[in-house]
Amino acid sequence: MCPTSVSVPEGGVRETEAAAWLDSISFCNGFCQWVDDEEWSIDSLPADSQQPVQSNRASEAVNEQPSAEKSPTDIPTGGNRRSRISAFFKRAWKAVKKPFLRCRRTRVASPMPRQSDPDPEPVPGPSGLQNEPDSDQTVPEPSVPDFPNCKPTTKSFSKLYKTQDLIGRGSYGKVLKAIRKSDGQEVAIKRMRKWNNRHSLQIPGCSRSLPTEVALLLMLRRPPVCPYVIEMYEWFDRPLIISLVLEFPQPCVTLREFIRDSHGLTEPIARGFMRQLVAGVQHCIDRGVFHNDVHADNVLVNTNALELKLIDFGSGHLLDDAGYDSLKYIGALQFCPPEVFSRPKYYAVPTNVWALGITLYMMVNIQPPFSNVKEILEACPYTWKCDVSMACCDLIYQCLDRSPAKRPTFEQILQHEWFESPE
């Protein structure tokens, strides 16, 4: 492709100097031989880079025609010599750029289309027959419990209820007594300010998150309902407040007030209250609800029927076997178990059992056993009334065990010998 030397006529000074300069290039032979060897891959260059090379080859082919077609007396002019020299350097430059162009072309080249994966061969089953997919068979979806009246009532509250006296007030809002106009039944209206009650839960059967207390009470009113847990009839969602319509047992007071007014309970009455309270807390766990704030102020007592109602689920959670973060405990301090202060997690059932032990202690001793964190961590009540039976003391000590794993279950509490004592 490229000659090893360039013959220059005697009359051309510039051509002679150029030829001498070309002859002095030491790599010319090897370089040109490499270009000749690589000519097969010039097609890999882009089309715009191939065109100049083809035109140079054409001009070279014309220049390299046999001498028989030319006149013997024709002498190449200086312009032709310069064109050949220029063509040589262009070919050399193209050859130098060619590996890099080819490399870049390889990078940007579009990948070959992937062939679709062949269908896997069916695997014979235990019977030796091939398993074929059944296109007509549909997989049944798991059944989701349907919570009736999950959505709030959209009718006007004032057309359905007539509010009356104020029952109580707290950081959450207030509770009012009201009369249902349709049948004259007395109900309790718990009104909560939205800006102060932002906790919400999403429960199965509802497409959106609901306020925590609403969600948990909806889960608890699935039949069969428990007579020892407060029932929510309906709820209203307004721009600034949420109103819960709750049952209102009459006449009633809180368990703390009942204990104080009675100067402590006799063991037979405490035994009846304890059975109801254990049944109510057990019902919550069975429904997947963890109350998380069982104490004497969250229990209503019907003073005529001596029946209890567990109320106020605003601090509750959905039941979680993995436990709960101790740093996020929001229950009452006097009923808080020691693991909240000493361990990273606390669990639903042991926490409820601890609260039941504190409540039973208050029933027979009027005051709670612990007043600060140090006493809670020691988990050893020191003050007892002289008329408390040994069986009652033993049950309380078991419920107030410092180790959560050693506390009894709800079933074990009801099977304790104290419940077998005569009324």
Domain end (from 248, 275, 299): 248
Give the residue from 200, 225, 248 where a domain finishes.
248
Please return the burial class of 237, using the count of CB atoms within 10 Å of its CB with bins 0-12, 13-18 and 19+.
middle
Asked if 23 is an active-site residue, the reply is: no
Strand runs labelled E in 232-319: 232-237, 241-247, 252-254, 289-290, 299-302, 307-310, 317-318
**Residues in contact with 124: Cβ distance below 8 Å, sequence separation at least 6, in sequence order:** 130, 131
* Residue 200 falls inside a structural domain: yes
**pLDDT in the model for residue 148:** 56
Residue 265: inside a domain? yes
Collapsing DSSP to helix, strand or coil, 421 comes out as coil
pLDDT of 365-408, one tens digit each?
A: 999 999 999 999 999 998 999 999 999 999 999 999 999 999 99
Answer for the pair 162, 179: CB distance below 8 angstroms, yes or no. yes
Considering the domain architecture, whether residues 201 and 240 belong to the same structural domain is answered as: yes
Answer yes or no: do 401 and 313 share one domain.
yes
From the list 261, 241, 348, 358, the residue with the least C-alpha distance to 303 is: 261
- Report percent pLDDT > 90 for the chain: 56
Residues 254 and 243 in one domain: no
Q: Are strands 161-170 and 173-180 parallel, antiparallel or unpaired?
A: antiparallel
97 pLDDT band, cuts 50/70/90, is: low
* First-to-last C-alpha distance (Å) of the chain: 121
Q: Which of 179, 172, 161 is nearest to 313 (CA)?
A: 172
Same domain, yes or no: 253 and 223 = no
Site of tokens 């906790």: 199
- Does pLDDT of 71 surpass 50? no
Structure confidence at residue 349 (pLDDT): 98
Mean pLDDT value across residues 134-148: 45
Considering only 143-157, 179-193, 306-320, which range has the smallest mean pLDDT? 143-157
pLDDT surpassing 90 at residue 112: no
pLDDT at 304 > cutoff 50: yes
Which residue has better confidence, 198 or 404? 404
The domain in which residue 230 lies consists of: 148-248
Residue 258 lies in a domain: yes
What is residue 421's predicted lDDT score, i.e. its pLDDT? 74
What pLDDT sits at residue 352?
A: 98
Angstrom distance (rounded) from CA 407 to CA 411: 12
271 located within any domain: yes
> What is the number of structural domains in the chain?
2
Strands 200-201, 161-170: pairing is unpaired
Query: What is the percentage of the chain residues whose pLDDT exceeds 70?
Result: 66
Query: Within a domain: residue 363?
Result: yes
Alpha helices in 161-201 (DSSP H): none
pLDDT over 60 at 66, yes or no? no
Whether residues 333 and 417 fall in one domain? yes
In a domain, 52, yes or no: no
- Res. 50: pLDDT tops 70: no
Q: Is 190 annotated as a binding residue?
A: yes
Backbone Cα Rg of the chain: 47
- Please say if the pLDDT value at position 331 is more than 80: yes
Going by C-alpha positions, the residue among 280, 279, 310 that lies closest to residue 293 is 310
Q: What values do phi and psi take at 412, rounded to 5?
A: -65, -30
Instruction: State how far the Cα of 282 lies from the Cα of 278, in Å rounded to an integer.
Output: 6
Specify the pLDDT at position 46. Answer: 44
Most trustworthy range by pLDDT among 108-112, 149-153, 220-224, 295-299: 295-299
Question: Are 273 and 358 in a shared domain?
Answer: yes
Lowest mean pLDDT of 208-212, 250-254, 418-422, name the range: 418-422
Is the whole-model pTM more than 0.85? Answer: no
Q: Are residues 266 and 353 in the same domain?
A: yes
What amino acid occupies position 410?
F
Evaluate if residue 61 carries a pLDDT over 80.
no
Closest CA to 313 of 215, 383, 236: 215
E strand intervals along 298-337 = 299-302, 307-310, 317-318, 324-325
Q: 283-300, pLDDT tens digit by residue?
A: 999 999 999 999 999 999
Catalytic residue among 293, 312, 387, 401: 293
Is residue 405 included in any domain, yes or no? yes
Mean pLDDT estimate for the chain = 78
User: Hey, is 174 helix, strand or coil?
Assistant: strand
Domain stops at, among 221, 248, 275: 248
CA 203 from centre of chain? 15
Report residue 53 CA to chain centroid gap. 63
Cβ-proximal residues to 27 (8 Å cutoff; 6+ apart), any chain: none
pLDDT at 132 over 70: no
Same domain (yes/no): 209, 355: no
Looking at residue 298, which CATH number applies to its domain?
Answer: 1.10.510.10
Task: Look up the CATH number of the domain holding residue 201.
Answer: 3.30.200.20
